[in-house]
A and B are shown apart, each in its own frame.
Chain A
Amino acid sequence: MSAPAKRPRPGSQLSWILRDPRSAVGAAVLALAVAVTVGAPLLTGYGPFDHAGQVFGAPSGAHPFGLDDLGQDVLTQVLYGGRISLLVGITAALVAAVIGGLVGISAGYFGGRADTVLMAVTDYTLIVPGIPLMIAIAAAFGSSLAMIVIMIGVLSWPQTARILRSQVRSVRERTYVRRASVLGVGPARMIRTHVLPQVAPLMIATTVLTVAQAIFVETALAFLGLGDPGRVSWGSMIYNAFDRGAVSAGAWWALIYPGVAVAVVVLACSLVGQAIEAKLNPRSRVPYLSGKRFTVEPVAAEHAAAAAAAPAAATPPLLAVEHLDVWMRNAAGDELHVVRDVSFSLGRADRFALVGESGSGKTTTLMSVLGLLPSNARVRGAIRYEGRDLLAGGEAGMRTVRWKEIAMVFQGSMNSFSPVHTVGAQIVEPMRLHNGASRRAARARAAELVGMVGLPATVLDRYPHELSGGMRQRAAIAMALACDPKVLLADEPTTALDAMVQAQILMLLRRLADELDIAVLLVTHDLASVSLLCGEAAVMQRGALIEQGTVDALYHDPKHPYTRELFGAALDIPVVDAATGKVVPA
């Protein structure tokens, strides 16, 4: 990533706000609300305090929103009341943005003691219950409109300050900002040219959300009789409906319309605010669990016919992947063909590796075996376990083989354990659920398993964060063996570990697979792992298997130019002593 190129132009920051449908709708509603309240005299012939007809008159053609307890037109009151509610909301939010911006940016930019003091003040302000405090102040000092605006603004800034502080801290760490700082650019100029443009969208988001909050607080104060008595606002209309008998008289129209007006404006504000926040913090990760399953298509007709014509083998292979195709739909809606017509099979206790660069489709192939693809995937082909097609069996069929027949060790086991459960609880869980083991039997077996991977039984009561990376990977292997699977899928099982530990883990996998008679399907880009663990391998490139054979043959007699390139680049494969698991110096 070249840091200076990342520096965005300030103007380009805001146009996307209006391109997102949510914020566009929200912004349009807000603009409309401002327009109709400012243009109130053009839309209604009455003044806000004019007597327009019968007390609590029902909605009619002349008074579409009905009349209130003083015979005032409710539509007129909603339009004029909106002026005060929006004015209070917007100005109070600006006050909060100025205070919160100053505090948050100073704390984040200067750090150190200034940060500690400012954040302490922010946290203490945050716990003060705002409404009761404003009630106390308003009761002591009276409540003019300016007073209400200042109070709401002064109590609403802490959220803005907190959010901006963390954003400014991360901006400050960026390379181009640090470089500018080293070049002697002063803080005022730094904040103006580098920090402000970066935090501007976030500031807009929090300010828009504060507008909503401020409108809310205005209705609350008015409801407690602390509003500005000389003016109509949506808050005072709700209060009057409560206080002057509209509710008990059944004149619902005097109550409903001002509340709906508040709800529409607040909802519009939260749409805009949320759309900006979602844009600023995009969720890059696809959820691993979703209510929607990936799509499965039947095997292509020519393959199905060929399979039917072939004589049925006496014993089908343990695991067979047949003509597997996988497509993934990306966020833009385009489908990418990530696995292309892949076929291979695994006999009992075989060791097979899929080798390729990242993005070659090897991990997707592995995930297909256990049906762990995301919901945006489309799959065609067959995955046969002992002859039975798992893809055709749906999620329920998949669950019958998961962990009992086919278990898995994941890449970077740092995160494959849940941080809030003990390692033991997570190893015991599948035994209890799948084998119906008693608590005691499962626990005893778990102790045995961690012993087999060379860990003391005490790790069962430890949390994942208390183990080292190598220990966690051993524990992950113990967990995979819990239900005596016949196939072990291993997805880059050693990448995140240092070289010595990598070799130890691979030796451990080889020994256990030998002892327990387990077939291993390894996915890796690391050729050293392949040579240590597997007898046969297939090379994948751009989703397709391009060459398959014994590891020896692939090394010494590669047929495909890509294979030659891949294996040729790996001359510095460490030699590991099979007995000790130690790397032998060249």
Chain B
Amino acid sequence: MHRDRAHYVARRTAAALLMVVVALTLNFVLFRALPGDASASFGAVPEATPQMREQLRRDFGLSDPMPTQFVKYVEQLGHGNLGISVVDRQPVTGRLGDALKNTIPLALGATLLAIMFGLLTGTLAAWRQGGVTDPGMTGVALTLNAMPVQWVGLVLIVGFSSWFASGGMHDPFLVDVGAWARFTDYLRHLVLPMTTLALSLFGSFHVIVRSAVLETLGEDYVLTARAKGLSTARILRRYALRNALLPTATLIALTLGFVVGGAVLTETVFSWPGVGRAVYDAVTHRDFPMLQGAFLVLTLSVVLFTYLADLLYLVLDPRVAAS
């Protein structure tokens, strides 16, 4: 039994590490090996001589053979070096670290909120199938799912910006105030972006949970649980929902790419200084080292959370190690 579990963890870990290698390679290939390297845009500078361009290529190591470049790139990554931003000449790693600290509460909070509501309404809708509750809730969920994230954010700004802050993470005029005042100011800024991201994720989570619970409500153990005289709430929670968590976890893990995309758009709408906003700024300033770093961070976080979902499965389903 324990050997099986260790085996499962080892297999998933190997798969995750392979995904990291793929992500690193993709990141390298995408930004280096494609036609037109960093010196190409330098060529557009007037009076740039071919000699200067060649010098630049040597300085950046772009004239080395591709495998050498790749080894160097991985070496640099190992030292946590993602290059220098062309905008402010700061190391990309440091700036991304700061951005990540701002993104995590927003993205994680919104995802958890959406999962919580999705579990609640998805279960209720499945249980009340055939009544008006189910089409009502599912209709709302599908409609939310059909709205572009950035549009939801802008509509919320139009509707609610008099109650909550609609840009940035802190009020720049708020100086020399206590920790509590700073915290409530932060919350006032967090409400709208977090609601935006949560609303746009909620729709698909509701649909996923609803169909998973509908499936488990047809299982024999639900009938047994009813015969045992358990209350409806207990059957829904402990039997239907608990068993529905297995397919739900898999499907939610598959939507992590959407969470990342949604976070980029939400941060752009609300000028939230996170990784997504960094991507937007890098695009507008053609800051390729920054863009490459941000892309790597986003890809690796999807790999990490996919891996965590695999490990969560081990906790959720006692059968998983056996197969």
Residues of A within 8 A of B (CB): 124, 126-133, 135-140, 212, 216, 219-220, 223-226, 235, 238, 241-242, 247, 250, 252, 255-256, 258-259, 262-264, 266-267, 270-271, 283, 285-292, 370, 372, 375, 399-404, 407-408, 410, 412, 414-421, 429-430, 433-434, 463, 465, 479
Asked if residues B220 and A410 are in contact (CB atoms below 8 Å), the reply is yes
**How far is B154's CA from A479's CA once the two chains are assembled, in angstroms?**
56
The 8 Å CB contact of A259, one of B147, B232, B257, B291, is: B147
What 10 pairs across the A-B complex have the smallest Cβ distances?
A285-B218, A402-B229, A131-B261, A259-B151, A287-B217, A415-B220, A266-B146, A291-B128, A129-B260, A267-B146
| Chain A neighbourhood of B126, CB < 8 A | 287
Q: Shortest beta-carbon distance, B7 to chain A, in Å?
A: 17
Interface residues of B in 145-198 (CB under 8 A from A): 145-151, 154-155, 157-158
List of A residues within 8 angstroms of B243 by Cβ: 418-420
In the complex, what distance in Å separates the CA atom of A247 from the CA atom of B126?
Answer: 39
Complexed CA–CA distance, A287 and B129 (Å): 9
Interface residues of B in 244-258 (CB under 8 A from A): 246, 254, 256-257
Nearest-neighbour CB distance to chain A for B85, whole angstroms, equals: 15
- Whole-angstrom distance from the CB of A353 to the nearest CB of chain B? 19
Whether the pair A129, B226 counts as a contact (CB closer than 8 A) is no
B239: A residues at CB distance < 8 A: 418
A404 cross-chain contacts in B, Cβ below 8 A: 229
Q: A238-B151, A256-B155, A372-B223 are in contact. Are A289 and B146 (CB under 8 A)?
A: no
Known: A136-B30, A242-B154. A412 touches B220 (CB 8 A): yes
Decide: A140 and B36 in contact? CB cutoff 8 A: yes
- Among the listed A131, A410, A420, which residue makes an inter-chain contact with B224, where contact means beta carbons less than 8 Å apart? A410
Which of B60-68, B91-99, B114-122, B279-287 forms part of the interface with chain A?
A: B279-287
What 0/1 pattern do residues 119 to 151 of B give for CB contact below 8 A with A?
Answer: 000000011111101000000001101111111
Q: Which residues of B contact A (CB under 8 A)?
A: 19, 22-23, 26, 30-31, 34, 36, 126-131, 133, 142-143, 145-151, 154-155, 157-158, 214-215, 217-232, 234-236, 238-240, 242-243, 246, 254, 256-257, 260-261, 264-265, 268-269, 279-280, 282-284, 286, 288, 291-292, 294-295, 298-299, 302-303, 306, 316-319, 322
**Complex partner residue of B260 from A132, A138, A247, A262, CB under 8 angstroms:** A132
**Are B26 and A224 in contact, with the CB atoms below 8 A?**
no
Across the interface, name the chain A residue whose C-beta is closest to B149.
Answer: A220
Given A283-B214, A287-B214, A132 and B298 contact (CB-CB distance below 8 Å): yes
The residues of A that contact B319 with a CB separation of less than 8 Å are 419, 463, 465
**Interface residues of B, dominant DSSP:** helix
Closest to A130 in B: B257
Bound CA–CA A415/B284 (angstroms): 58
B22–A403 CB distance below 8 A: no
Taking a contact as CB atoms under 8 Å apart, the answer to whether B228 and A127 are in contact is no
Contact of B218 among A287, A370, A430 (CB under 8 A): A287
Quick one: which of B221, B227, B234, B269 contacts A417, CB cutoff 8 A?
B221
5 additional A-B residue pairs with CB within 8 Å, beyond A140-B34, A287-B129, A416-B224 = A129-B256, A287-B222, A288-B218, A403-B229, A414-B220
Q: Which residues of A contact B306 (CB under 8 A)?
A: 127
Establish whether residues A220 and B150, one from each chain, have CB atoms under 8 Å apart when the complex forms: yes
Contact of B142 among A129, A267, A283, A417 (CB under 8 A): A267
CB closest chain-A residue, reference B134: A291
Could you tell me the distance in whole angstroms from the C-beta of B11 to the nearest C-beta in chain A?
Answer: 14
A247 touches B30 (CB 8 A): no
Determine whether the beta carbon of B34 is less than 8 Å from that of A226: no
Residues of A within 8 A of B143 (CB): 263, 267
Closest to A406 in B: B227
Closest to A400 in B: B229
B318: contacting residue among A133, A255, A372, A419, CB under 8 A:
A419
Q: Given the interface contacts A129-B299, A372-B223, does A283 sit within 8 Å of B215 by beta carbon?
A: yes
- On whether the beta carbons of B223 and A416 are closer than 8 Å, the reply is yes
- Distance in angstroms between the alpha carbons of A321 and B155 in the assembled complex: 61
Nearest B residue to A252 via CB reads B158
Question: Nearest CB to that of A215 among chain B residues?
Answer: B148
**Distance in Å: Cβ of A156 to nearest Cβ of chain B:** 11
Contact A135 B279 (CB under 8 A): yes
The answer on a CB contact under 8 Å between A263 and B299 is: no
* CB pair A241 B217 closer than 8 Å: no
User: Closest residue of chain A to B221, judged by CB?
Assistant: A418
Q: Mind listing 18 A-B residue pairs with CB under 8 Å?
A: A124-B19, A124-B22, A126-B257, A127-B306, A132-B298, A223-B150, A242-B269, A255-B155, A255-B158, A270-B146, A287-B222, A288-B222, A291-B131, A402-B227, A403-B228, A417-B221, A418-B221, A419-B319
Q: A136-B295, A291-B128 are in contact. Are A220 and B265 (CB under 8 A)?
A: yes
B219 and A415 contacting across the interface, CB-CB below 8 Å? yes
Complex Cα spacing A399 to B317, Å: 30
Which A residues are CB-close (under 8 A) to B242? Answer: 418, 420-421
Contacting residues, chain A, for B284 (C-beta < 8 A): 225
B151 pairs with A262, CB closer than 8 A: yes
A139 contact from B128, B214, B291, Cβ within 8 A: B291
CB pair A289–B298 under 8 Å, yes or no, is no
A residues near B232, Cβ cutoff 8 Å:
289
A379 to chain B, nearest CB (A): 16
CB of A306 to closest CB in B, whole Å: 31
Contacts of B291 in A (CB 8 A): 135-136, 139
Bound-state CA distance A128–B151 (Å) is 24
CB < 8 Å neighbour of B229 from A127, A288, A430? A430
Is B283 within 8 A of A226, CB to CB? yes
Chain A hits for B222, CB < 8 A: 287-289
Chain A residue contacts of B265, Cβ below 8 A: 131, 220, 223-224
Least CB distance from B27 to A in Å reads: 9
Candidates A262, A271, A289, A403; contact of B147 at CB < 8 Å? A262
Whether the pair B257, A128 counts as a contact (CB closer than 8 A) is yes
B148 proximity list for chain A (CB < 8 A): 216, 219-220, 223, 235, 238, 259, 262-263
Residues of B within 8 A of A421 (CB): 238, 242
Chain A residue at minimal CB-CB distance from B301: A129
**For A263, A415, A433, which residue has the most chain B Cβ atoms within 10 angstroms?**
A263
Question: What is the distance, in angstroms, from A126's C-beta to the closest C-beta of chain B?
Answer: 7
Instruction: Tell me if A126 and B254 are in contact (CB < 8 A).
Output: yes
Q: Which chain A residues border B240 with CB–CB below 8 Å?
A: 289
Known interface pairs A135-B283, A415-B221, A419-B318; A128-B154 also in contact (CB < 8 Å):
no
Q: Identify B261's interface contact among A220, A241, A255, A463, CB under 8 A.
A: A220
Given A225, A372, A402, which contacts B283 in the complex, CB threshold below 8 Å?
A225
Judge whether A129 and B158 touch: CB under 8 Å: no
B31, B131, B294: the one contacting A292 at CB < 8 Å is B131
C-alpha spacing A238/B269, complex, angstroms: 11
Interface-central residue, B26, B221, B235, B280, by most chain A CB under 10 Å:
B221
CA A418 – CA B231 in complex, angstroms?
16
Q: Which residues of B contact A126 (CB under 8 A)?
A: 254, 257
Residues from chain A with a CB closer than 8 A to the CB of B288 are 139-140
Closest CB-CB distance, A284 to chain B, in whole Å? 8
On whether the beta carbons of B146 and A465 are closer than 8 Å, the reply is no
Are A136's CB and B31's CB within 8 A? yes
Q: Which of A271, A429, A463 contacts B228 (CB 8 A)?
A: A429
